[in-house]
A and B are shown apart, each in its own frame.
Chain A
Amino acid sequence: MRRRVRGPVVAAALAAAAALCALANVLAYGDIPAGVVADVLAGERSGQQAQIMWTLRFPQAATALLVGAALGVAGLVLQLVLRNPLAAPELTGVNPGAVLGLLLALVLGLTDAASAAGALTAALVGGLAGGALTWLLAREHDSAQLVVYGLLCSALLTGLTTMLLAYQPSRFGNALRWLVGSVEGRTWDHLAVAGPWIAVALGCVWLGSAALGVLGAGDDHAAALGLPAARARGVALAGAVALAAGAVALAGAVAFVGLVVPHLARAAAGSDPRFGVPAAAALGAAAVTGADALAQLGSRWLAAEVDGQRLGLPTGVVTAVLGAAALVLVVRRGGRGAAMERTAT
């Protein structure tokens, strides 16, 4: 019985952690005390502070929650269906493709940065193209080579993005926010488009999570159980691209969340995607809101200690630094496990 309750309990605990991180995110600016935030949430306060909360802080925290959930689940789906622990939106051409698509649309005047629907469409097309490029190159090969091709595609797309930036630097005053990833300045207008998109995609992925589990144990296995593997993988990859592109459209290429969170989710909730998907969503949400809170704290500290000017650390800087450290731990632990397995057989 212990096993049967473990998954839901873990998912609930992780959801609570995400909520706490979101609260920390709101409080990290330090200009509005917790009591006031509670009053604003309860609807018992209006005025300037309440307005700051509703128009800036809450949408930003909600963006961080959604972006994190989308990236965490996108990474989990990619790792499951490609059966590669290093598959992630940023290593399969999806995130770099989405960034390039977005910037290309901006430079061609197809959309402007303020248009949420335009940004989402451009990121989606770019993400699909990036993922498809990797897939076309790697489909004949095994999943280890897929990561190599994914890295090559990602490098190529990032290179093209950099060329674009060098060509017309003035067009991208805040290009850094897309390249590194930041949730700063996102409003309800952005969320109104990308929010439902991500929420629906998350729901669809969860509905398919049992099939994901069957697919995760191999194509032959899945086909023998009645799941057409190639078609199912296509649908799952489309879901992952939809999630990653939605995240990029909101906050740019926030790094390492899609790579590290799935490992943490598996460690916490086990290998059954029915629990793994909610766990990855909650952990991803906690990771990005928490990282953004740390980014705010870091910005305040830098402003106070080093430079009197206000500066904003992008969220993606924190996820990259902490994510890289976490990945080192994951890889070292995985390496030990594989070595033990080799000696056992």
Chain B
Amino acid sequence: MADETLVGADGRRTDAGVPVRDSNRSPSPVTAGAHGPGGPREPVFEVADVAFGYAGRPVLDGVDLTIRAGETVALVGTNGCGKSTLLRLLAGLLSPDRGAIELQGRPLRRLSRREIARRVAVLHQSLPPVPGLTVRQLVRQSAYPHRGPFGMLVQGESAEIDAALDAAGVTGLADRVLDTLSGGERQRVRVALAIAQRTPVLLLDEPTAHLDVRHQLEVLTLVRRLRAERDLTVVYVLHELDHAARFTDRIVALADGRVAADGPPTDVITPDLLARVFGVSGRVVHDDLHGTPRCLLDEPL
């Protein structure tokens, strides 16, 4: 059972990936982040020279990336640049053809699927329809990585489920059938599922896809709040650069299977990046209210 004990996000030993909750140290959006009071925090993901291809077509070729505890990172790039593939590699859902990925200092390929799922929660783009499945039933499945197929046969602790539903603001939907929910409600339910999984790391693959602007902001704000409350490490795949600039503290742009740019939004988002990575001409202005860069896109190059 030794491998079930992790080093927590702040370096203390924690049980099975539950982030340490310490009222004296509750991180705020301002103080939390990869650079705590004691300098840079320990790496969560270490990606070294990773290559991956689908059926001979290379997608990623030589990606190096370190993501530290407490960071919020956006992976951006054009369609097919491999950002979702990289996210799936980080989640252990794909294995790299070359190179290595370490999760909290341990090689990802040495961890079982359940061991990974106790450390990393993933929000995929969509959930297939399941007739009759209720919100509570879905969120209850978050216990699977902790309790396994046989432990799930008996009804588990529902207080955790209730807390997760509450944190994601979907308590009122608990007994609704999933198929009857709107896109925005469904996305919040899936955030509740990820939260109930009690992992220190959250990976989100285009969580705002197919949502209207209001629901996009709702989901991003919700994740930002939960990130701060629970000291999560968050990796997004995002299409919208303005969202990436506003809701993350680091942007990693992928092009030609490699990391083309990596750094804080103000450094990374430049007209040069728009041209080089996205193939569009554009201007970058400063948003005084949020203190973030904003893109005004002009023409495809």
Interface residues of A, Cβ cutoff 8 Å to B: 3-4, 83, 85, 207-211, 213-214, 216-218, 220-221, 223-228, 266, 270-272, 274, 341, 344-345
Contacts and interface: CB of A to CB of B under 8 A. Distances in A.
Nearest to A4: B155
Contacts of A225: 117, 141-142, 144-145, 197
Given A224-B117, A225-B141, A210 B152 contact: yes
B121 A224 contact: yes
A270 B130 CA distance: 11
B117 A211 contact: no
A213 to B, nearest CB: 7
Contacts of A220: 93, 122, 124
Closest 7 interchain pairs by CB? A226-B117, A210-B152, A226-B114, A271-B132, A226-B145, A211-B149, A224-B122
A208 B133 CA distance: 18
Interface string B116-144: 11100110100110111110111001101
Interface string B161-200: 0000000000000010001100100000000000001000
B93 A213 contact: no
A175 to B, nearest CB: 38
A224 B91 contact: yes
A213 B127 contact: no
A341 B153 contact: no
Contact of A221 (B114, B118, B124, B153): B124
A271 B145 contact: no
Contact of A209 (B128, B133, B153): B153
Given A221-B127, A226-B114, A271-B134, 16 more contacts: A85-B131, A207-B153, A209-B153, A213-B137, A213-B152, A217-B127, A218-B127, A223-B93, A224-B93, A224-B124, A225-B142, A226-B116, A226-B117, A226-B144, A271-B137, A345-B183
A33 B111 CA distance: 65
B138 A217 contact: yes
B131 A208 contact: no
B54 interface: no
Contacts of B122: 220, 224
A308 B98 CA distance: 79
B182 to A, nearest CB: 8
Nearest to B177: A271
A217 B124 CA distance: 12
A11 B132 CA distance: 17
10 contacts: A3-B175, A214-B152, A216-B130, A217-B130, A217-B141, A218-B128, A221-B124, A221-B127, A227-B144, A228-B113
B179 to A, nearest CB: 6
Contacts of B112: 226
Nearest to A83: B128
Contact of A208 (B113, B130, B137, B149): B149
A226 B155 contact: no
B127 A210 contact: no
B161 to A, nearest CB: 12
A344 B181 CA distance: 10
Contacts of B197: 225
A4 B155 CA distance: 9
Contacts of B155: 4
Given A224-B122, A226-B114, A217 B91 contact: no
A192 B183 CA distance: 53
Contacts of A211: 144, 149, 152
A85 B183 CA distance: 23
Contacts of B141: 213-214, 217, 221, 225
Contacts of A218: 124, 127-128, 130
A270 B175 CA distance: 12
Contact of B149 (A207, A216, A217, A341): A207
A294 B183 CA distance: 48
B42 to A, nearest CB: 23
Contacts of A85: 131
A266 B132 contact: yes
Contacts of A213: 137, 141, 152
Contact of B144 (A209, A214, A216): A214
Contacts of B142: 225
A210 B141 CA distance: 9
A209 B144 CA distance: 12
Contacts of B115: 226
Contacts of A228: 113
Contacts of B179: 341
A210 to B, nearest CB: 3
A274 B133 contact: no
B124 A271 contact: no
A302 B145 CA distance: 58
Given A217-B128, A225-B142, A270-B132, A210 B149 contact: yes
